[in-house]
Every structure is written in C-alpha cells, then in structure tokens.
Amino acid sequence: MKDTHSDTLYRAATNQGGVFVAKSGALMCMTGKHTGRAPHDKFFVEDDITTDNIHWGEVNKSISEEQFNHLELLVLRHLGHRGMFSQDLFAGADDSYRLSVRVCTEFAWHALATRHLLIRPTNKQQCGFEPELTIFHAPTFFANPDLHDIHSEAFVIVNLKKRVVLIGGTSYFGEIKKAVFTAMNYLLPDKGVLPMHCSANVGPEGDTTLFFGLSGTGKTTLSADGVRKLIGDDEHGWSNDGIFNFEGGCYVKCANLSEEKEPEIWSAVNRHGTVIENATMDAHGVIDFDDTSVTENTRAAYPLRFLKNIKRNGKGTHPKNIVFLTCDAFGVLPPLARLTDAQALYHFLSGYTAKVAGTEQGVVEPQATFSACFGEPFMPRSPLVYAGLLYEKLREQKPTCWLLNTGWTGGPYGIGSRIDITTTRNLLEAALSGALNDVSFESDQYFGLSHPSTCPGVDNALLKTFTQWNSVARYHEKATELVGLFRKNFKRFDDIRPLEVSRF
C-alpha cells in the first residue's frame, strides 16, 4: 500500500536542504557535532512522582521543574518560529500496553525516520488521537549551560509527570528513539511487563528467541535470519501473554555493512525512503559503508516492511530460548555456554561486553564495559526492578538461557582471532534447534560456565577456550583479570539476596 504521508515527508526533506538522495533512493543526512547519544546531557525532572521511583545517579540525573518549565517555553517558542512536522504514532504492538506518542520536530527527515521507527495508527485510531507522551525536538535550539544549569548546549529532558520530553541542540535521531524507549521502560514495570533492550525472532515451529546485547555484539545481525521471522531488532516487552515489539521499524548500525554477510539488512538499507545518518557516497550516489570517517556510528532507519521475513503483528509467544550476547575482547569466555537461572540473572545485571582498540580515542587495550540489563542508559528504575521481573519470568516460563560470545578466541584482541560469523551462526542454530540437548557439557574453572563438548559444524577444539591459546599462563592471567572486573562491577549489587544470584 502506498504511503502518501511518508512520500510527502520525503519530498519535504529534500526541499529543506542539507539532505542528499543516494542512487538507491535513500535519504543521506548529516547530524553535525553529535553523531551519537549524549548521555551526560540527559535529565529527568525530579518531582513528587519521580523522587522515589527513579534510580538517581550518574546515569539518571535530576533537574528541577522550574528549569524544565523555562526550557520548555524557549523550545516551544523556537519551534513556533521555525515551524515543525508532527507525527502521531504508537509504541507497543500489544494494544494492552501501547503508548500513544506525538513527535514534533523541525526537520522533515526526523519526522520520516520517526514514522519508520514507530507503529502507524489506522485511520480509525488516528481520529481523536490523544498523545500520552509528547516529544518536542528542536535540533537548532542550543541551550546556555550556565544560564540553564545543564551540562552543555544539547539536552534531553524527560518530564514523566507532564509526559513531555524536550530534546535540543542535537540532530542525532537516536535521541528521539531512545526517549520513547525510556518512557516505556519507566511505565511498563507497574503493569507487570518487563521492558527489554533486545531483539526477538520466531522459528518455523512458533518458538520465540530473545537476543540481549550491547552495541557491536551482533544483536541485529543474528536476529535477522532467513529462516526465522523477525519480531523486532531492539526493544520489546514481556507480558503475561508473551513478547511484543515496541517499534514498527529498525535503526541499524551500517559501518562495514556488506551484502554478502548481511543480505537482508543490506537490501533494506538500500531502499527508497530509508533514512541514513552520517554515511558517505561517491559521485554516482553509491553509498560507501566502509567509510567511517564521519563516525563509526553510521545508522539507517527503515520500516520493518522493508524486510522480507518478519512477524507482521509484532508479537511472539513466551521465549523458549534467551541469548545473552557479548563481544569478549579478552578472549576468555567460551563461544557458547548454557546458563542456570542464577547465572542468567548475574549476566543480565552485569551486561558485559568489551571495547577494543580503535573504537574510541585513547583505547589501546581491551576495556570491559558493563551496562546493567544490557541497556542501563535507558532504564530509569533500579536495575533490580527489571532483574526481579526477569526472575519471575524465568521461574514461570522456564526458557533455556545461553551466553553467546561473538568476540575473540585464542588470545585477546590484537593476538587472538575473532570468532567468525559462520561459527557463531552454527553455534546459535545448534542451541535453538535442540541439537545440544543430548551433548555433554563441561564447566570452566573461572566463571562456572557450562559449554558443550561438541557442536555440529564447529571445531570441537574451539569450544574449550583455553586450548586455543599459545600460552596457558597468559590465558590464566587474562581470565583472572576479567573475573576481577566482573566482581568489581557487581559490588554495586551486593545487597540483592532475594534474587539468589550466584557470585564468583
């Protein structure tokens, strides 16, 4: 069905200037100074509703109602002068838990990307639409840090009492997307729903799998499967009825994207109407995904319908399998491990992956990164709230939980080799298909993780991590170092006896 509204936004975007059209018909947009989220510039209004419900700290910083009201007046005045594009959409494929969202922004390409990412109401739903969350996005309004008592000229301020989000000083579309996710993450636990930063797909037999993981671990790549139908690639809820997608589209990383390794995503990105941030193209309009000179964080926004193999209603059954993805640059964790419920909770609260040299200025050695619930920057409540909900779901539904390492083996980054995508897919397929049900498992001495002794299509020697290292002594050194980092991070959860989480 032709989407005339999106076509209108597409034309408006090209007419506004600063946007270029690739040979494929994708819109090429540059976001300027901010090519990613600005976590230090995000605030929650502290009031009688949020005081006791927000997990205040470095991640969730407070701002007063007076500061918010002042900035809201300035942003609305700015948008009134500049003009704005408004979109009325839904977050949440399950009608029982959906959130009606109005996004007002000054650039048409942001409105188009929003239309791609959220769920479009029917004509009947559009009539009398009442927003439960309104986002005012003013990328060319820059705050005065001294006058407004905030961190910089950019800001994301969430007012949960007024159900209003102000975004200013940044053109990066991810701020709009994550503002909606943040609101859902705050609201849904009160309804008994676990909000999750994960992708999800469903197999031919109707079995649902969840993929948790931080950026760069393979969450989007592994869930976009030619056989299994994609429910969604980033944000979901787990209710008493099953899984549901928050979104109606995808916002994928495009750096080094190739048709050979990721054909479905490649096809969707190279479509008329896709919105692409901070990528370059040649004189003929061909996009160069290998050029990361602007940023490593090149992104594309497109509707789910651009993919062939999708679950169109955005819903799935209770998961049969849960996969925690990590990119271990220390080369210590096994390629695949089966987790107990206690281990699953531990790794959920830890949210581990590793940054490698070259990804950020000053990073010369692998650096462990921990993000509780695999999405702490977007989780306004205490991590224990989300872990408690997960604990209940694990006890009730009894899914099998796995830890899948898409990082290095045979040594740390720079010495060992990265586990190739074919091996990772074979491990995942074996786990989901039940091919490992009758295989013996062995336990490693540092993390107590049970890894299969054999797996179809995988070199058995690879499954026992330390045998891949040239120096066993060096392996023990790195394993001890990583265990220490896990322990140090987990001290913040020392008081959670009720969750029965194992400790190293």
Catalytic residue set: 37, 178, 197, 215, 219-220, 234, 299
Q: Count Cβ atoms below 10 Å from residue 269 Cβ, excluding itself.
A: 28
3-state SS track over 410-437: CCCCCCCEECCHHHHHHHHHHHHHCCCC
Helix (H) or strand (E) holding 389: helix 383-397
CB 85 within 8 A of CB 116: no
Nearest to 11 by CA among 272, 251, 271: 272
Query: Which tokens in the block code for residue 315?
Result: 């819903």
Q: Which of 474, 458, 473 is nearest to 415 (CA)?
A: 474
| Of 219, 433, 247, 446, the residue nearest 323 (C-alpha) | 219
Cα dihedral 462, 464, 468, 472, rounded to 10, equals: 180
- The first and second tokens of residue 343, run together, are 């281990």
Cα 316–Cα 317–Cα 322 angle in degrees, nearest 5: 90
Return the structure tokens found at 176.
């709009």
Strand partners, 161: none
Is residue 323 within 8 Å of 211, Cβ to Cβ?
Answer: yes
Name the token pair of 410.
Answer: 């045979």
Closest C-alpha to 235, from 247, 222, 223? 247
Tell me if 429 sits within 8 A of 462, measured CB to CB: no
